[in-house]
Amino acid sequence: MELAKKAAHGDDRAFEELVHLYEKRVYNMALKITGSPEDAFDLSQNAFIRVWKSLKTFKGEAKFSTWLFRIVANLCTDFMRKQSRRSETPLVIDGEDESFEYEPPDERAEPERELSRKELRRELDYAISQLSEEHRTVFVLREIDDLSYAEIADVLGVEEGTVKSRLSRARGRLREILVERGNIPDGFASKEMKGR
């Protein structure tokens, strides 16, 4: 990526453009993994600081976005491990915090439909927060950040088969949680939840 090369050679404007291009995706990724808007903001800032400091080591062998997401995933993983040592409190995204997603509201939606959508999103956020760290990370990278299996494998430093296995388990666990909470009927499984 040309912007990354320019930024690596000290071009501040190129780096600002990179931040502008990726800040929303980085924040949303950190938010889905940590479940906390404040922690996601801090981790996003730390990720870009780390990118700035290590940009000269970026060789361009992988895509810039893959390299960036690897940094974010590593920071989130380290953070979550430290958090789990401090307390065993489960991650729960407060219903009011779901608005931290960078998504413009749909002005055309009817109020009841909008409320139903928010409730479903809250339930999905809760279910995602209940996944193990490794399953949550792979699910976020695939389903939210839309990375390919190969890109996820590269970001996490694992085999593609491991990515597929973790993703399958994550989808299965999400389905179980949603069934337990009465959000989808028992016995119902969409193609998406079974895997693609």
Q: Which tops the pLDDT comparison, 94 or 182?
A: 182
Residues 6+ apart with CB under 8 A from 122: 93, 95, 98
pLDDT digits (tens, 9 = 90+) for 121-134: 788 888 888 989 89
Per-domain boundaries in the chain: 2-194
Q: Report pLDDT digits (tens) over 66-105.
A: 889 999 998 998 888 887 776 544 444 444 444 444 444 4
Confidence band of 27 (pLDDT split at 50, 70, 90):
very high
Q: How confident is the model at residue 2 (pLDDT cuts 50, 70, 90)?
A: confident
- CATH fold for domain 2-194: Rna Polymerase Sigma Factor; Chain: A (1.10.1740)
